[in-house]
Amino acid sequence: MRFTIQSKAPNSLARAGTIETLHGIIETPAFIPVGTKATVKSVATDVIENKVDAEAVLANTYHLYLQPGDEIIRKAGGLGKFMNWSGPTFTDSGGFQAFSLGTVKGRGKKIVSEIDSLAVSADGGILPTFANSKTKEELPQARGNGEVDSETMMAKIDDDGVTFKSIIDGSEHRFTPERSIQIQHNIGADIIFAFDECATPGADYEYQKKAVERTRVWAERCLDEHKKLGVGSLKLESALFGIIQGGRHEDLRKQSAQDIGAMDFDGFGIGGSFDKDDIGTAVKWVCEELPEGRPRHLLGIGEPIDLILGVANGVDTFDCVAPTRLARTGAAYIYPQPRVGLGSSSGKTRINLLNAEFKDDFDPLDPTCDCDTCKNYSRAYLAHLFRAKEMLGATLLSVHNLYFLVHLVKRLRTAIIEGKFEEVKERILKDFA
């Protein structure tokens, strides 16, 4: 992998560049669609390449390990060949899902708390993980004395890794830093991530500090295993990115960035859950500490404002399931539309086609958008598809939402190169304020 910075925005951390991989070039900054299980949900790979104009996809190590299994993907020739994608590929480490999904019991029941899962640390502490998830699953319940029934807890974190139960059949599995790297080498993506511990922003300072130290130690172990394996099992070289943690604490974020930034990683991922205000603070703290000449990826972030602020604070690539997840519920990103006969904007930047107002609305989804969905189908038709529970609705809306975010970031890239970043950034922020 080779990263080149082509242009920088004055008075900003924003930069435009290229990431060269064995399977093609990613022009940065870039939004990377998520293909969790080797598929971007409901959208074929040729559409992702030719209609969405995305340059890479990211798949999920945890899910591919459980199904179909990393050995099957290795035998198929690697992730790209397995899913018929010829461009660059990413895989995450699987840690986030092992910690969060592995803890869930009572799938399908109504949620009983804002926190969607629990994990138990080696010292017996109960750790809320990954708040703000949209899952509809019941929480494991802790006893009043802080202990957790062993039948309830489905994941346990210790200094060596995490033991968890499969969300498919309940079987027990073990991820360590070494095992994560071995699995990712089998999957064979161009860019892979070190195994880390992602604690919720709500975890107290002392636990965040422990998670940062554990992430540092695991990063060293991931690097050692990556170098030990050398060329991946597919005889293709994977670039390894280290991950920065630290929650919402400036000293921990900076310490993590300094520690991981000093290691021999090809690039860096910025992990952890973020509130809206964190993109302009925690991300900046990290990017100011990281080496300038290596790419930075912001994990799991995809709302338009977050992308804009991420680019402004030095992020090169992003991934998020939001565009396709929202599409499956009938929700679409749009730019604010001018009101007929008025000089003002409607102010809406997201609409839901299940709302009654769209039943006989024959305008394009977003008249300013050049995606195939907006060029060929009306809001009324899309609304009909969702009301009729036709699968095509999710596909067409996924194409639009993906195109919207991919091209929003491409617009920012062009602005950086043309020296107009601040002007364009402020204009878009005003649209989405």
Catalytic residue annotation: 92, 319
Secondary structure of residue 364 in the 3-state scheme: strand
Q: The tokens of 126 are what?
A: 């109960």
End-to-end CA distance of the chain: 37
Q: Which residues, other chains included, contact 433 with Cβ-Cβ below 8 Å and sequence gap of 6+?
A: none
Q: Hunting for tokens 């990683």 — which residue is that?
A: 265
State the DSSP string of 29-70: SEEEEB-TTSS-TT--HHHHHHTS----EEE-HHHHHHTT-H
Secondary structure of residue 338 in the 3-state scheme: strand
Q: The tokens of 72 are what?
A: 């099957």
Q: Which residues, other chains included, contact 306 with Cβ-Cβ below 8 Å and sequence gap of 6+?
A: 274, 276, 279
CB 27 within 8 A of CB 409: no
Q: Hunting for tokens 């062993």 — which residue is that?
A: 150
